[in-house]
Amino acid sequence: MVLAYDGLCTFEFGCAVEVFGLPRPELGPGWYRFAVAGIEPGPLRAVGGVRVSADGGLDLLAGAGTVIVPGWRGIDAPVPAALCDALRSAHAGGARMVSLCSGAFVLAAAGLLDGRRATTHWRYAEALVARHPGLTFVPDVLYVDTGDVLTAAGSAAGLDLCLHLVRRDHGAAVANGIARRLVVPAHRQGGQAQYVEAPVPRERAAGSRLAPLLDRVRGALDEAWDVDRLAAEAALSPRALHRHFRAATGQSPGAWLAGARLARARDLLEATRMPIPDIAAACGFGTAATLRHHFRTRFGACPTAYRTGFGTTMAG
């Protein structure tokens, strides 16, 4: 269920339609049932001169499994009390709440972000925190998933969150297939758990003297990369290397390397039947035990459990 309103944010609405609203008969009868709920009588005007005719009103939320708020018409625009009531009721009935970009202000107005981690577009962060101190704002992420309430950052991050939902509901193969059709990454890389919180990578590929080094490391994660080797490859002293890494990625060299190895391990778990020990070796962890330790610390699950939930196949 996607909300529509007068002054609708066209791009965010389109993201939800593109991922969830298109018929996909090849995926069988378990695909999403899609509808648009207007929060006020229509036809509703969207940014760019588009007009939207909704399938019904707020009463449709009562039967929704997921409710998506595609941005909001302005962070200073009041959120109608009837909308807040309908969202709270739908959530209490078991619906999953999702906001894209400034849609977080709507969920916050309904009290659904109180006591939760949440994000929104960086331009709106201060306003969101000031008006709703009960939430914990998470900066520099693409989206935050707290289970039954999910929030995305800027407009394009809405696609990342929508694909994440597909991955949660239907597995990696389906999400990857939709991403290929959209010609976008199935998940953008970051330094933490992509399927929980997906940080925006801060590497400055253009103009960063580290960019070639980072590319070389990603292509040879099975090799030993200590600080001395990294510094030598970048023609920097170890101290300068740390400084440049912090500036470019927001992390230490060791933390960045661990994240890159875990990201590669996650990709192999999702897309291949490669045994866990082979994945550990390919990603530079050496042993399956070391991979399990780092994977559980970062993602809260062992590699086998992750593969069961997100992989295209089951494997040992």
pLDDT score for 315: 31
CATH 3.40.1170.60: does it fit domain 203-316?
no
Of 11-15, 22-26, 193-197, which gets the smallest average pLDDT?
193-197
pLDDT score for 312: 52
Cβ-count burial 261-292 (b if 16+ within 10 Å, e if not): bbbbbbbbbbbbebebeebbbbbbbeebeebb
Helices (H), 153-197: 157-170, 172-182
User: Is the pLDDT score of 207 beyond 60?
Assistant: no
Q: Choose, from 101, 162, 283, 302, the residue flagged as catalytic.
A: 101
Of 39-48, 82-91, 290-299, 307-316, which gets the smallest average pLDDT?
307-316
pLDDT score for 156: 86
| Catalytic residue status for 283 | no
Q: Do domains 2-199 and 203-316 have the same CATH topology?
A: no
**CATH class assigned to 2-199:** alpha beta
Domain ranges of the chain: 2-199, 203-316
Of 15-24, 99-108, 168-177, which gets the smallest average pLDDT?
168-177
- Highest-confidence range of 107-121, 186-200, 260-274, by mean pLDDT? 107-121
pLDDT score for 197: 53
Q: Is 102 left (phi over 0), alpha (psi -120 to 50) or beta?
A: alpha
3-class secondary-structure state, position 275: coil
Q: Averaged over 222-234, what is the pLDDT?
A: 93
| Burial tier of 202 (Cβ tally within 10 Å: 0-12, 13-18, 19+) | middle
3-class secondary-structure state, position 137: strand
Residues 140 and 250: their CA atoms lie apart, in Å, by: 10
Strand partners for 152: 143
User: Is the pLDDT score of 250 beyond 90?
Assistant: no
In 107-148, beta strands by DSSP E: 117-118, 136-137, 141-145
pLDDT score for 191: 31
Q: Averaged over 178-200, what is the pLDDT?
A: 60
31 — pLDDT class (breaks 50, 70, 90): very high
User: Is the pLDDT score of 158 beyond 50?
Assistant: yes
311 — pLDDT class (breaks 50, 70, 90): low
Q: How much is the mean pLDDT over the chain?
A: 87
Structural tokens at position 138: 């998470």
- Highest-confidence range of 126-130, 234-238, 297-301, by mean pLDDT? 126-130
25 — pLDDT class (breaks 50, 70, 90): confident
102 — pLDDT class (breaks 50, 70, 90): very high
Q: Averaged over 5-16, what is the pLDDT?
A: 95
In the chain, beta strands by DSSP E: 2-4, 36-38, 44-45, 51-52, 66-70, 96-100, 117-118, 136-137, 141-145, 149-152, 197-199
pLDDT score for 193: 38
Q: What are the φ and ψ backbone dihedral angles of 131, each rounded to 5 degrees? A: -85, -25
